[in-house]
């Protein structure tokens, strides 16, 4: 029997919110399902009506995170406007903005050890976000002959890795830098794209 206040049927989301608080405090693998129940002010038995274990709860936190992330990068991409380069850079900045505003979701998505492909409800949402980033990367090389175009999936993967590194070191990791994380990422993307021949030398 749940405690007073959660018989309105929103216990599942209350547990997600409790998990987000615990992730911020202890990391995605630093708490138990019983602790999530206590944080949500319900009995452990009530939790198991919604989640079979901590990983299933983390998967739901991550799924919701991917929904937010996909919406953010789609908005940033804006159909490739005003230019392919501006749209691509905007998706990188959206990555940082998401990590800054939604740290609990970010950690559940990228630091919990969960593989999105193993979770049927998470995989399509994660794929949606990835496809936007790949479309943005594809737009950068359309002016090149087809045989010289780098795969959009590769460019997107490299920039995601760069974005993740900036987040871990300078946005969340506390490493000192004389430059803002956004500037570090923009400069790094520019150097990378120039190396692929996707930017003119004077850009």
Among 92, 86, 203, smallest CA distance to 156 is for 92
Judge whether residue 200 has pLDDT over 70: no
Residues 7 and 75 occupy one common structural domain: no
pTM for this prediction: 0.89
For the stretch 126-136, pLDDT in tens is: 999 999 999 99
Residue 101 is part of a domain; what is its CATH number?
Answer: 1.10.357.10
pLDDT of residue 143: 85
In this structure, is residue 105 part of a structural domain? yes
In this structure, is residue 106 part of a structural domain? yes
Judge whether residue 2 has pLDDT over 70: no
Residues 17 and 85 occupy one common structural domain: no
Share of the chain above pLDDT 70, in %: 94
The two tokens of residue 125 are 């949402």
pLDDT of residue 108: 97
Residues 6 and 88 occupy one common structural domain: no
Residue 16 is part of a domain; what is its CATH number?
Answer: 1.10.10
Judge whether residue 5 has pLDDT over 50: no
In this structure, is residue 202 part of a structural domain? no
CA distances from 164 to 6, 49, 97, 99, 159 (A): 37, 35, 12, 9, 8
Residues 107 and 126 occupy one common structural domain: yes
Identify the domain containing residue 48 by its residue range: 1-52
Residues 31 and 65 occupy one common structural domain: no
pLDDT of residue 9: 57
Residues 91 and 21 occupy one common structural domain: no
In this structure, is residue 200 part of a structural domain? no
Residues 19 and 119 occupy one common structural domain: no
Kindly indicate the confidence band of residue 201, based on its pLDDT and cuts at 50, 70 and 90.
Answer: low
In this structure, is residue 203 part of a structural domain? no
One DSSP character per residue, the chain reads -PPTT-TTS-HHHHHHHHHHHHHHHH-TTS--HHHHHHHTTS-HHHHTTT-SSHHHHHHHHHHHHHHHHHHHHHHHHGGG-S-HHHHHHHHHHHHHHHHHH-HHHHHHHHSS---GGGSTTTHHHHHHHHHHHHHHHHHHTTTS-GGGPPPHHHHHHHHHHHHHHHIIIIISS----SS-HHHHHHHHHHHHHHHTT-S-TT-
Residues 77 and 16 occupy one common structural domain: no
Residues 92 and 147 occupy one common structural domain: yes
Kindly indicate the confidence band of residue 4, based on its pLDDT and cuts at 50, 70 and 90.
Answer: very low
Residues 28 and 89 occupy one common structural domain: no
pLDDT of residue 6: 46
The two tokens of residue 134 are 């790949």
Query: How many C-beta atoms lie closer than 10 Å to residue 13's C-beta?
Result: 14
Mean of the pLDDT values across residues 165-170?
A: 92
In this structure, is residue 201 part of a structural domain? no
Q: What is the count of structural domains for the chain?
A: 2
Residues 106 and 21 occupy one common structural domain: no
Task: Output the average pLDDT for the chain.
Answer: 90
Residues 118 and 181 occupy one common structural domain: yes
For the stretch 9-65, pLDDT in tens is: 589 999 999 999 999 999 999 999 999 999 999 988 888 889 999 999 999 999 999
């Amino acid at each position: 029997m749940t405690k007073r206040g959660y018989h309105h049927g929103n216990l599942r989301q209350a547990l997600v919110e409790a998990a987000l608080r615990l992730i911020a405090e202890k990391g995605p693998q630093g708490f138990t399902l019983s602790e999530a129940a206590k944080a949500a002010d319900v009995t452990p038995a009530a939790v198991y009506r919604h989640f079979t274990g901590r990983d299933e709860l983390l998967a739901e936190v991550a799924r919701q995170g991917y929904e937010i992330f996909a919406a953010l990068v789609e908005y940033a991409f804006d159909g490739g406007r005003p230019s392919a380069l501006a749209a691509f850079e905007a998706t990188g900045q959206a990555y940082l903005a998401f990590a800054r505003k939604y740290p609990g979701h970010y950690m559940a998505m990228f630091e919990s050890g969960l593989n999105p492909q193993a979770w049927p409800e998470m995989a399509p949402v994660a794929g949606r976000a990835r496809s936007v980033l790949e479309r943005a990367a594809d737009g950068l090389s359309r002016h090149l002959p087809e045989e010289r175009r780098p795969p959009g999936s590769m460019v997107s993967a490299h920039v995601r890795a760069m974005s993740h590194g900036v987040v871990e070191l300078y946005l969340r990791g506390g490493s000192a830098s004389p430059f803002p994380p956004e500037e570090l990422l923009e400069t790094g993307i520019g150097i990378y794209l120039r190396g692929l021949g996707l930017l003119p030398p004077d850009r």
